[in-house]
Amino acid sequence: MAEVQAVKDPDTIRLIGHLLARHHSQQMADIWNIGINLALRISDLLSIKFSDIDEDRLNLREQKTGKHASIQLNPKALQIIHRIREEHPSHIYLFQSYRNRQAINQAPRPLTRRAVCKAFGIIGEELRLPLGTHSMRKTRGYHLYKSTRDIARVMKMLRHSSEGVTLRYIGITQEEVDQDFKELEL
């Protein structure tokens, strides 16, 4: 699997959401738009239950690290969550698989990572971008870093323990660091 990158252009971020809705489903676009706003790993994003959401806060335990994440939901994420809840009041998962409708006496399940990977990959090919499920998390980290220049803040949001890992993860290159030094004169 090719390494995916952060999406650095805000217009491209919006275009990806639009193309996912148009070519795949509103649910895929919702995954993209909420994923961009929460910076969770795809396994954690897909496992969100409505019971994990307390008014404007998401509380969950990360599957990979076991760390507790308490995330303040921004207005865009809340708007999408409220719409999904309104459209599917009986759903347990935020991104529940619709295939379960045909499975009698089976417990509801979230959408699969494989389905999301496939949809994102198709849109990535169309846009000639290395796009995948980690792109959402990397994009959020990249844009937070670009707006604040505070790597410690980005590390905390992504729950990383190393600056180097975080810089590499969000795609900050040595050229960008060098450019920052040239542009900022005190």
Which structural domain, as residue segments, surrounds residue 15?
A: 10-183
Q: Which pLDDT score is estimated for 180? A: 76
Q: Cβ contacts of residue 162 below 8 Å, gap of 6+?
A: 155
- Is 2 inside a domain boundary? no
* Structure confidence at residue 185 (pLDDT): 74
Q: 149 in a domain, yes or no?
A: yes
155 within domain boundaries: yes
Residues 34 and 139: their CA atoms lie apart, in Å, by: 12
Answer whether residue 130 is part of any domain: yes
Domain total for the chain?
Answer: 1
Between CA 46 and CA 53, with CA 48 as vertex, the angle to 5 degrees is: 155
The pLDDT confidence band at residue 116, using thresholds 50, 70 and 90, is very high
pLDDT category, 173, cuts 50, 70, 90? confident
Instruction: Inform me whether the pLDDT recorded for 174 exceeds 70.
Output: no
pLDDT computed for residue 40 by the predictor: 96
pLDDT, position 100: 53
pLDDT at 135: 96
What average pLDDT does the chain have? 92
pLDDT in tens, 46-67: 999 999 999 999 999 999 989 8
Within-domain flag for 1:
no
What whole-number distance in Å separates Cα of residue 68 and Cα of residue 3? 27
In a domain, 4, yes or no: no
Q: What is the CATH number of the domain that holds 40?
A: 1.10.443.10
The yes-or-no verdict on residue 132 having pLDDT over 80 is yes
pTM metric for this prediction: 0.90
